[in-house]
Structure 1
Amino acid sequence: MAKFVTRARAIDLLGRQQIAGIPTAINELFKNAHDAYADHVEVDYLRKDQIFILRDDGLGMTKEDFENRWLVLATESKFANHKIPLPPTDSNKPLRPIMGEKGIGRLAIASIGKQVLIVTRAIRNGELGNTVAAFINWALFESPGINLDQVVIPVKEFSGSIIPSLADVEAMKNESILSLLSLFRNSDITKENARDLITEIKNFRVDPLSLMQSLPGALSLENHSGTHFYIGSCDDSLNANIDGNDKDKDEASTLEKMLVGFTNTITPQHAKPSVKTAFRDYRGNDDTYFDLIGEDAFISPHEFEKVDHHFRGEFDDFGQFRGDVTIYDHEFSDHKIIWNENSFKRTACGRFSIDCAYLQGDHKQSYLDPILHSQLKSKLNRYGGLYIYKDGIRILPYGDNNYDFLDFERNRSKSASYYFFSYRRIIGTVNISKEFNDNLTEKAGREGFIENQAYRQLRSILKNFFVQLAADFFREKGGESTDVFLSLRKEREKMYRAREQREKRAKERKDKFVAELNAFFQNVQNGKIQKDIADLLTKTRKNLQSISSIKDVDDASNALINYEFEARKSLVYLRMRNKILAPRGFVLSKENRRNWEVYLEEYESISNKYFLEAEAAVDHLVSDYQKSFKLEVSQRKRIEKHVELISDEAKDTTKKRYDEARSIAEEVSSRVRKLTQELMENLEQTIRSAKLQLPTLKLTESEDSQIFESIRSIESPIIEEKDYANLILENIIHQLDNIYWEKDEQGKIITNAQITDAIEEELEEVKEKMYADIELTQLGLAVNIIHHEFNSTVNSLRSGIRDLKRWADIDTKIDTTYKNIRSNFEHLDSYLSLLTPFNRRLYRREEVIRCEEIYVFLQDVFKGRIERHNIQLNRTKGFSQSRINGYRSIFYPVFVNVVDNAIHWLKTKADDGPRVIRLHATDDGTLYISNNGPQVAVNDYEKIFELGFSRKAGGRGMGLQISKEVLRNASYDISLSEPRKDMTVTFAIKPLK
């Protein structure tokens, strides 16, 4: 009797050569973790060592499970069998449908790398079992001439929570090498083959215990169940699958496309994911990594809801759709789409649901703001597509935007207006289940469904669905529903064009306004205004002196009046040249608004100081020269000249605005007349064209339906033109109606433009605050995590250094090394201790803080920097003796921030003089922080406390604003004060009354 004999190569044929690629192989291992009731399955890829680690926290395997299930090809253990019971389930979790059913998913490991160490620990009935380890070299299965029963797989069991050590792994490798030598001696493999395999095995170095303790996540088998795969000799294509196309960074890599969205987290109604995935790519020598498939990279439910159009509903057993459609913000409930390809018979594919969204490619046609539209479009370019989920787990390769299984792009190439949809603008899910869609079976290589009748029907139903959606809602000259989309899209385009024109005009005005502000502050800073006034007074003095050469007394008197008039006129001109008109027709950012407020204060100060002094100086000069030349000057004439000057200036300024207002009014009036005339002419032409069709109608034997159709075809253009004209006119009327003004309680006129500007400014400030708060929250979370992780690491280092000391006491050769490590560690540890006062959780009660302690703390924090930049950090006796009642976590960061800023600017100080930071205090409880670095610009006095404002290169502009906020909550305030003696900048921290 003959029997089948299986060659070892069958493993390679069924595994590595059957799987489509590395991403598919990883996906298979993720599914196995799901079947093992894991909550997490995570990958850590150590590029430098070419070690690929996949870990889960599932139920794990016993030694019997590993030998009787995992090592059995095409195992039927996931089905009922009288010999082998069904695999274990977790009674604490909902029953999970089995994703892997062919028993070859484990063989996919060979696609990732040629060698694998498997470490697993089972939990059964709430009890953790022994750890089991096995070592496999997949390259052996590529060798010809070996039968499967000749391959030896080293398997070892370790008691309880003992994790195999490096020595244990070496022992398993030696067992594998001995089996290879035996095969060589029996001439089953060649000498060259044996040599290559043995070299490869020897190069495999993995320490499971060390890796378990160092890798992130709570997946160690010391305290949990699960299965870990340590894969070495990784395939050369793995890096390419991760990195993708270097030339096109907007395109996701193959691995990202295949692994992202393993569970459905896209749609708002999705069920809680049964298993969470992670893929960490360590590209350097440190512990930093890139999270390739994190939740932030994929489309979130919030983003999904923001997309322009939504389609959600069910396909019944006959392929008929019933659900809700939302076009922009217009909802069509209980919409039905008929599929008749199966003659309304029950389908083989079964019932399923769909939940997808579609983004308008051109942001002119989208309801999203430009920033969000750009972000979502970029994400859809990477991950857009229609994902198929079976019981919440993704089926590959559906969702990959290069796998257009419904021919979206092929159809668009025929007619984009007819088929409408683009695959990269779609994001959504098709949801099937083992219960209702059992005939949809995956191919052995996981390259999609087997193309049986069920799959062909599923594909036909979905293709029909999108074609009908295009016809019902998006196609030109469609039904009533398409009018909604077309009119709303047209409205978005018009709004975009109007906003574009408005923003263009606003930008021009804003740029001019900002340039004028900057020029003003520049003039103040370099003293140009004072110089211009001084030059004017010098010129006036020379003019008045020249009167001495005029012999006629009356002529001399008139010359004096004229020179006075000329001087005053020049002063008015100088005033007006430095006067900036209030912003109009654009929104000021928070910084520019603050600059404008500073300008108003500074301009008023200059007017009251320099210009009033100049006017008084002109008065004195005129008076002095009048007395000196003994001239009789008509005071009436002087007053008349002055009034004439003011009147001319007032009329000139107002006339410009008058002419501008009249010109705009006339232009608007002309454009309105032209537009209304054009609309009426177009309507008249449409009516005439419709009437011209009447003689051509043949109505002799027409039925009622044909008559109604004729009426509809004639009246439709008229109605469409009428609706369009009325819509435009209503918008124009609304705009004109919004031109209004009224008087306030003081009788001053307020226009709607002022109200609109105020609202837009408030909105701009709110948006800036929102973005800053988000950034600040992220920063705070990051600092908290870093502090926690750093603290844990330092604790481990302390323990390690203690152990090292014991070795140093024995071996004098490493004593010097030990002392260097300890010295550097103590320096690092001191920095960790400096973080402690910033953690309010450790200081929940207020306390009396001695200011001398603050000084010592600052010395510790900045010791290296102040020595490096030759800066003196001093304090007065009054500061040392002062006390503050409050939280250290509030006051310490404020001092750190101000001193840090002072160091930054002091090191840029140009002169060679001493660089000093001084802390001092007064009896009223005010604390001062001074330095002698560069002065703060006049227009920055208040701005430096605004969120986002910074003069530092790359500065966030958060420190001083945060300091001000937290101090206010503690009934304190921080502000710029008059510089103290020998200092140029002084900050005051004072209690609020």
Structure 2
Amino acid sequence: MQFRTKARAVDLLGKGQIADLPTAITELWKNGYDAYADNLKAELYKQGFDGLKNSYFIISDDGKGMSTSDVLDKWLVLGTDSKSRADLDIESEDTLWKRPRIKAGEKGIGRLSVAYLGNPMLMLTKKIGYPTQAVYFDWRLLENYNLFLDDIIIPLKPVEDLSVLNVVFSDLKQEFLSNFDKELDLDNRPIWEGKQLELKSDIILETNNAFIEEPIFRKLFSTFDTDDSHGTLFLVFNPINQIAELADEDNDDVDNRNFVISSLTGFTNPLKDIDINISTVFDIHKGAETYDLLTAIGNFFTRKDFELADVYIKGKFDGTGNFNGIIRIYDQVIDYNYSNPRRRNKTSFYGEIPIELGYSQGEEKSSLLTEQEFTALRTKVTLYGGLYVYRDDFRVLPYGRHNADFLNFEQRRSKRAGSYYFSYRRMYGYLDLTRDRNPDLKDKSSREGLINNTQYRAFTNDAEGFFVTLALDYFATNAKESLFLNKKKEINDQNEALQADKAREKAEKNAFTRSLSEYPKRLEEHQIKYDILLNQLSEKLNQIDVGYSEVEGILDELQKMDLEFKNLIPKVPKRYKPTETQKERLYKFEDKLSNYIEQVSPKREALNKKAQDKLEIRDLKIDFTKKYNGYIASLDQSLNRYQQLLIEKLNSLSKDYKDRSKRLINSLQEDKERLIESIVSKEQIFHFNKEIENKYNSLINEANRTLFPLVDHLFRLSFDIDEEQVQGAYKAQYDQMKYQWEQTRDTAQLGIAVEIIDHEFNQLYAKINNQLTVLGNNFAVNSIKEFGFLEKNFKQLEDKYALLSPLYRISGALNRDICCIEIYNYLIEFFENQISESSIVFEVSEDFKKHTINIKEPIIYTVFINIINNAIYWMRNKEHRIIKLDFCADTNEIIIANSGEKIPEYRLERVFELFYSQRPNGRGIGLYLSKQSLNEAGLNVFATNDKKYNFFNGACFVINTLNYDI
């Protein structure tokens, strides 16, 4: 007598034991890793992509693959022990000559999880030197409870030539369909009956309809197209809806998409220094695009994220109830030990478990991070926050998911957040298990976590006790140690002060922006009224006999408007740096103001002279006296207005100081009489002394934080120091340094990148040149013309690249006399296409052509290219586009002028600042480097609007000898 196995047992072991889609994919990826793959891939080809009529799902790896005997003796044999044996592989052909790996799989049934993904399925697998093996199967066949395993035919065929894969595929399908030839079993009972007849019909129909479309065929062919190809690929013809819906970004079921992403990220432990370089990708091919699903909502954690943690824990549980390690609270590191008072026995020993965990504060004001750092980390924590479990550096599901709070952090916080500080959703980190250290912590057969055995319960008890005790020691509302609470309060106070300052700055910016909108209108109204008065005065003074009384009112109004004119000049805030938009609007308004002054001043001066000629000395003396008094009254009014504001503010601060002081005193006095009357013992006096001392310290600390700093600040104030300007200067410096640092991170590798690109281009050009030569020798006669075009175009590309060569090879270059006609000819060739396409007139003077400059060739060429490149960009909206190169022999200055946009006065120096650019996506590096390079060569470059140089009234740059200040 012996056991016989029904076919549905395999279905129960496979699809029936898989908890969800991510688990199914993870199991197959683990098998790929065990087969020494470095690249594990899942791909969804959505209907419509590249003309596909159906959707397909492919999961593949570049592992060692299988031969015919491997498929028969291993893949089709369930529960093989090859992964559970203790011995490691030996570095050989079977390991693809890689270092032996600890196996991620152990039960020998993970391969069956492919049944979860959909049906039917085609498996292609290839071992180096062997032909590709093809297996076709529909796992739903195993759902028939009348079939035994030995009744099932699983078609397997070698594919000697992939070009005939469709023929082999057709044969595989026919062989698979032979499973339905028998209608009765050995006892003459129907094999398919009842509702399973519909299942039979579906399987047959979908097998007949299964077809390898051309884009999918190309994918399969490219995977196994050489003798050295290796790996395994599963093609699922009708993926389950959960897979197909992953491509629908607008789908209402966003939670499912995010669940899959968060479950498949972190396949190997990225938070630990490990020597596992495995790539996991889930490509979505949809419409006209391809993207990686795993990075669609944001990147996973890296080890560097621990540096951003406000609280950081690193240590080990020893397996018997003890924890030893360190805790970093903000910027202070302390040693920490914990011992669980539970009963110890051998059966509860779970082995040593290292833990490393970061914790992010819920509010930015309680964190030491910058706004950008906090936002970036919070995004990651929101998407992926949780405590992960890794075994031998491979993720154990479902730990790390939002609903996998196996240490009950949130349950405790719901009872009392003040005592139970730690939140599962704000942490990120891992528990590090291995088979060797923790043999009794095993996966459930359903892959839904660890088995709830004695060792597991002992560990969770230790871990929960550790976090509870740690919170009570340092993080609870009434913690034993005040280190965290004191530091948190200090950070909160600093951040709240900064936020208040930002709010005030924002209000000032908004007010300044509004004023910039109002000033032009007020100027226009002022100008109209002033012109009317001047015209009236002119008419009066043109009369033959005019008395002072007839023009007195007009002169008084003009005096009044002259005093009001200062209010038309925008008051630029000193505490912050105006934005570029505000500067631009201010610059345009100042232009209008200047034009107004230039227009009005001559007319007013002429009328003043005419009035002096017409009026008597007595009348002029009266008018002068009134003007004098008007200036005195205006000054007195301004001073009094600000004095009143000062008095009101001082009174308000004084009253606020008194109120706050009174509250603090009352707080200390309120229990005085009650405590004195309640004293009946010496012990009480000692206790009350300590209590009052603590309360006093708390109140004096509050005064130190809130009251005294303001008084100290007022005490330091002086009329001789403009505090607003000083603060604005420091803030401007900080903003500039912060901006430069952010830009530096993006450009730090620029020099290396140029060298790499140069090296790669040289190799690429050499290869293409060689191939063109070979092709040219073998081309058909009727294709010579087309080949000639190809060769010519490549030559042009090569010539353009050659133009770049002198620009970056500075280190070995020597100074030489460069005639400026060489520079002009180089620029004409370099910008040939842009000059032609933009209809630019490129002029050059004879003086420039004859001039010679002694300098390194790359330096001077780079300067001209940067300036001309900018000129071409800023001339794009001009009707007449002219660039001129000139030389002024008298001052020994080179002039580069164009008819593009004029550079505002306030930007003339700024354009040479590092990372300053007004061009969209501009880096602001070119002109900075140009100036630096020229300075090192004893030359200088500056921008100017002086009409002596800027004859096109556009942008103009001048190169001259550098003057050193002594």
TM-score by length of 2: 0.80
SS of residue paired to 1:567: helix
Alignment match, 1:572:
563
Partner residue in 2 for 1:76: 81
Query: For 1:91 and 1:194, how far apart are their aligned partners in 2?
Result: 38
Residue 739 of structure 1 is matched in structure 2 by: 714
**Does the 8 Å contact 1:319/1:351 carry over to 2?**
no
Measure how far apart 1:852 and its partner are: 3.7
1:352-751 superposed matches below 5 A: 352-476=353-477, 478-481=478-481, 483-517=482-516, 522=520, 534-542=531-539, 548=545, 550=547, 556=548, 564=555, 567-574=558-565, 576-584=566-574, 586-589=575-578, 591=580, 606=594, 618=604, 620-629=606-615, 631-633=616-618, 640-691=625-676, 693-694=678-679, 714=688, 718-731=692-705, 732-739=707-714, 749-751=720-722
- Is the CA contact (8 Å cut-off) linking 1:354 and 1:428 kept in structure 2? yes
> TM-score normalised to the size of structure 1?
0.78
Q: Which aligned pairs between 1:832-847 and structure 2 lie closer than 5 A? A: 837=803
Confirm or deny that 1:760 pairs with 2:766. no
Aligned to 1:985: 954
AA partner of residue 463 (structure 1): E
C-alpha contact 2:4 2:148 (8 A) present in aligned 1: no
* CA deviation after TM superposition for structure 1 residue 221, in Å: 6.9
Within 2, Cα distance between the matches of 1:694 and 1:344?
52
Deviations 1:409-457 (A, max 9, x none): 3333333334333221121111122121110111223211122222222
Q: CA RMSD in A?
A: 4.9
Q: Which residue of 2 aligns with 1:278?
A: 280
1:160-180 CA-to-partner distances (Å, cap 9, x unmatched) read xxxx5232x234324413423
CA distance in 1, matches of 2:808, 2:578: 39
2:898 counterpart (890, 906, 930)? 930
> 2:767 and 2:29 mapped to 1: Cα distance?
32
**Shift, 1:918, TM fit:** 4.3
Could you tell me which residue of structure 2 aligns to residue 910 of structure 1? Answer: none
Describe the SS at the equivalent of 2:740.
helix
| 2:874 partner letter | N
1:788-799 pair list within 5 angstroms? none
Letter of the structure 2 residue corresponding to residue 684 of structure 1 = Q
CA distance in 2, matches of 1:438, 1:109: 27
Match of 2:299 in 1: 297
CA displacement, residues 856-891 of structure 1 (integer Å, 9 cap, x when unaligned): 44342576x64xxxx555545768999994366765
Distance 1:842 1:612 in 2: 49
Contact preservation (8 Å) 1:591, 1:949: no
Question: Which deviates further from its counterpart, 51-60 or 790-799?
Answer: 790-799
Deviation (angstroms), 1:760: 1.5
Q: Does structure 1 retain, via aligned residues, the 8 Å contact 2:914–2:928?
A: no
TM-aligned CA deviation for residue 379 of structure 1: 1.9
Distance apart, 1:654 and its partner CA: 2.7
CA contact (8 A) 1:118 1:229 kept: yes
Does 1:101 pair with 2:101? no
Q: Answer yes or no: is the 8 Å Cα contact 1:945–1:964 preserved in 2.
A: yes
**2:151 & 2:234 partners in 1: Cα distance?**
23
Write the distance in 2 (CA, Å) between the matches of 1:248 and 1:800: 52
Out of 254, 257, 260, the position equivalent to 2:259 is 254
Q: 2:872 aligns with which of 895, 899, 921?
A: 899
| 1:137 alignment counterpart | 137
> Matches of 1:417 and 1:722 in 2, distance apart?
25
Whole-Å Cα distance in 1 between the matches of residues 631 and 338 of structure 2? 78
Indicate conservation of the 8 Å contact 1:250/1:382, yes or no: no
Whole-Å separation in 1 of the counterparts to 2:297 and 2:202: 45
Structure 2 CA distance, aligned partners of 1:391 and 1:60?
A: 23
| Residues 1:824 and 1:404: Cα distance change in structure 2 (over 3 Å) | farther
| Secondary structure in structure 1 of the residue aligned to 2:617 | coil
Mapped to 1, the partners of 2:779 and 2:10 lie a distance apart of: 52
* Distance (Å, rounded) in 2 between the aligned partners of 1:251 and 1:947: 46
Q: Which amino acid is 2:395 matched to?
A: R
Shift in CA distance, 143/397, structure 1 to aligned 2, threshold 3 Å: closer
Structure 2 residue 963 is the aligned partner of structure 1 residue 963: no
Match of 2:510, SS state, is helix
Residue 583 of structure 1 aligns to a residue whose secondary structure is coil
Task: Report how far residue 602 of structure 1 moved.
Answer: 6.8
Contact 1:262 1:393 in 2 (8 A): yes
Q: Which residue of 1 aligns with 2:197?
A: none
Closer, same or farther: CA 325–647 of 1 in aligned 2, 3 Å: same
Checking the alignment, whether the CA contact within 8 Å between 2:862 and 2:930 is kept in structure 1 is no
Change (3 A) 1:287 1:121: farther
The aligned amino acid for 1:685 is E
Report if aligned partners of 2:282, 2:292 keep a CA contact under 8 Å in 1.
yes
Aligned partner of 1:196: which letter?
Answer: L
Q: Which amino acid aligns with 1:757?
A: G
C-alpha separation in 2, matches of 1:53 and 1:992: 67
Change (3 A) 1:66 1:690: farther
Helix, strand or coil: the match of 1:419? Answer: coil
CA distance 1:943–1:528, change in 2 (3 Å): farther
- Please report how far the alpha carbon of residue 612 of structure 1 lies from its aligned counterpart in structure 2 after TM superposition: 9.1
Alignment: residue pair count = 917
What does the per-residue CA deviation read over 1:680-699, in whole Å, with 9 as the maximum and x for residues that have no partner?
1111114344445436xxx7
Deviations along 1:723-772, whole A, 9 cap, x unmatched? 221112223223322335588xxxx9224443333211111111222334
- Give distance in 2, aligned partners of 1:940 and 1:57: 57
Residue 77 of structure 1: CA displacement?
1.4
Please report how far the alpha carbon of residue 20 of structure 1 lies from its aligned counterpart in structure 2 after TM superposition.
Answer: 1.8
User: What is residue 196 of structure 2 aligned with on the other side?
Assistant: none
Match of 1:119 among 119, 125, 131: 125
Instruction: Give the gaps of 5 or more residues in structure 2.
Output: 185-190, 193-199, 935-939
Check conservation: 1:250, 1:381, Cα contact below 8 A. no
1:23 partner SS: helix
Structure 1 SS opposite 2:872: helix
Identity of matched residues, %: 23
Match of 1:13 in 2: 12
- SS of alignment partner, residue 281 of structure 1: strand
Instruction: Tell me the secondary structure at the aligned position of residue 107 of structure 2.
Output: coil
Aligned equivalents of 2:346, 2:177: Cα separation in 1? 64
How far apart, CA to CA, are the structure 1 residues paired with 2:894 and 2:90? 79
Q: Relative to 1, partners in 2 of residues 1:967 and 1:532: Cα closer, same or farther, differing over 3 Å?
A: farther
Deviation at 1:795, TM superposition (A): 11
Q: Distance in 2 between matches of 1:295 and 1:843?
A: 42
Structure 1 letter corresponding to 2:714:
I
State the SS of the aligned residue for 1:417. coil
Check whether the contact 1:686–1:718 (CA below 8 A) recurs between aligned residues: no
Structure 1 portions without partners, runs of 5+ = 123-128, 159-163, 551-555, 700-706, 907-913
